[in-house]
Structure 1
Amino acid sequence: MKGVAEKQEDIKEEAKGPAKKRLPKMLKAIGQKQLKALQEDKVLQQMISISKRSKEWIMSMSKSFKKESKSKTFCQR
């Protein structure tokens, strides 16, 4: 079974010449099929939701840190 990257490389090789204009559409269609398959994978969905939550947490922490740094001047000596 070939990997995703290898399949895309094969398609790129086939698309040289007059068919080169069709390449983005072909790659997009393949990408959508893979995305749909990945969306059905429950474990991957859990990982994605965890990463989204951690990203939100990091963003909220950075915002609170910025507020603290504005209120306190660290340069006071």
Structure 2
Amino acid sequence: MKDIEFSREQKERMVGKIKAYFQDELQQDIGGFEAEFLIDFFAKELGPSFYNRGIFDAQQVFNEKLEEAGYVIQELEQPEG
């Protein structure tokens, strides 16, 4: 799997959220540079787990829809005389 990359805007939003979290929950100030390092760390170390879970969930939805499609197709069958 290739490295996870985010747009500048996405990363800026994440940095803001991390800084707010540190301030609100931990009463600590964290700089943007440190927040970006945390994002990179989480993306590298935890990102694959979240990605794999997303793939698993998508596969479950796909399988459910495929099963539904199978029932719809069966309903289209015509009786043979």
TM-score band by shorter chain is 0.3 to 0.5
Query: 1 or 2 for the larger relative contact order (CA 8 Å, sep ≥6)?
Result: 2
More helix by share: 1
TM-score between both structures, scaled by the size of structure 1: 0.41
